[in-house]
Structure 1
Amino acid sequence: MPVSQPHLIIATARSTETARWAQEFRNAYPDWKVDEFVPGQPSTGATYAVVWQPDPILFQQEPDLRATFNLGAGVDAVAGSIPAGMPLYRLEDAGMAEQMAEYALYGVLRAVGRFTPYEEQARKGTWKAYRPIDRRQWPVAVLGLGAIGSKIAQVIASLGYPVQGWSRRLREADFPCYAGDQGLKDCVSASRILVNALPLTAQTEGLINRELLSHLQPGGFLINVARGGHLVDADVVEALQSGHLSGALLDAFTQEPLPADHPYWGIASVMVTPHISGITVRDLALEQIGSRIVLLQQGKPASGQVDHTLGY
């Protein structure tokens, strides 16, 4: 008996983005049926959902769904509303790791002031060379060693910066790795730059707080490419104002867009970016999700399935 063609429903936080993704899937897989989610409409009978920050009513409105595919690596915006037992798949990189490694490296260069004096001199017409930085004085801790965090650590380490990483489970890598509560303190204590690439879970929410930052070497620098929920903003602001943190490069926030009156905007040593450190590359996402659906249609396992007990 032939297997029926996949039937997708696309649901994102914005109708224009939903329509764009739906058309992308129609173009890439013309034999598949692709619908756009509209709250309050009758069920389409879709068997696979492709989502990004969807309205939770999706899962009540579409009772025939067999699996959900998230248009990003972080699943915190959907994991809480998906029915128990439904397979949830996340993107594994899809072109984001290189972008986020580049972003983190830019943060490291800002932290060490590699080009800052030359930018100032260029505006003044001044010609003066400075001694090269001593990378040994700028050890870097990378929190989270999945596909993205590992890439960040590898890129930074390849340029001679001492790098150490921390994850929930101990990993093997070409740099020192830590795990567990004490391992987290040891990893951060050995570092002057802190890069957060963790998934947001109940265990990691609020992890970057006053206590953790106190272990970072004085004059440290914070780079956040993960989620705003990892940071206790008041504690980060306090560390910046006291000078314990010399600066920060922040890409994700609890409320987005970041409110105009948020303290981060008024701190000269903080650079805010609008959640752009790792933007999904559409062609790679289409290929990755499509290939997984084909495997599921054939009764075969597909990579990227989220462990609901872990949240990633």
Structure 2
Amino acid sequence: MELVLVVAVVAIALSFDYTNGFHDAANAIATSVSTRALTPRVALAMAAVMNFLGAFLGTEVAETVGKGIISIPSGEHGLVVVIAALVGAITWNMITWYFGLPSSSSHALIGGLVGAGIASSSVVLWSGIVDKVVIPMVLSPAIGFFGAFLLMTAILWIFRRSNPGKVTRGFRLAQVVSAAAMALGHGLQDAQKTMGVIFLALVTTGYVQPDDGIPTWVKVAAATAISLGTYSGGWRIMRTLGRRIIHLDPARGFASESIAATVLYVMAIGLHAPVSTTHTITSAVMGAGATKRLSAVRWGVARGIVTAWILTIPAAGLVAALCYGLAHLILE
């Protein structure tokens, strides 16, 4: 029975990774597609490849997810907790995807782990959640917004006397690089979260030790799942991020992608924090757009997105807690 549950955890975790890919595909490419720097299919293919490569850049985020969120019981009970957490995260991903809201797959997973942990009376590591989740959750979009605003302001000043057509063409080419960097950062952040969940299940059942590194097969499987999900696309969310918040030009697309990618790298490699690529790029798009004028940003759409952000952790946690309760009744 234990082996069956381990296989189920791996399968469901990779399913979450796949939904993460198509849910968050817009993060890396919506801005470059909306400015016509890249065609949708070329952008998706590039994002899929960079997602795959980014998954191998480190394991810091995976270790935070696997060791720093909850401490679950060993054996079958612990596996049920992990399954409930994953189902909660996948459910919220599908709901927000259906309505075209760019919510955070990362925080859906964190919410699922916390909700299942509380329902199962597992030890929730609140200090780790505050340090590695809550504080970065607030900082990353704030840095994304103000960083993109300042970078775009600098671009406007530097190129104020340049030919507008040449500047647009130049930044359209530059966006290919910034979109690739964003996709690499997405792989670095989000594929590792799935690695961390699988690692948590393997530690729970004794297949690996807590001090062991992430097995190579786990890295390859997670990288493959998220890249396939990314290639399948996320058109509903891409429309929201690329057009409904603000109509972007190539310079603003470049500024928002560059700042967002930088935040992802710093948070992952420097702080080992599992931040949301969605929160970061959306805030950066708003920041770059606000340099036109504050009214250029469609704040009503932004308000709906922020509401989804606030609801993500408790909503995914509630679904995970209900799933754990149902599974507990069935297994008893």
> Is the structural similarity TM-score above 0.5?
no
Q: Looking at secondary structure, tell me which structure has more strand per residue.
A: 1
TM-score bracket, shorter-length normalisation: under 0.3
TM-score, normalisation: structure 1: 0.26
In terms of Rg, which structure is larger? 1
Q: Looking at secondary structure, tell me which structure has more helix per residue.
A: 2
TM-score, normalisation: structure 2: 0.25
Q: Larger relative CO (CA 8 A, sep 6+): 1 or 2?
A: 2
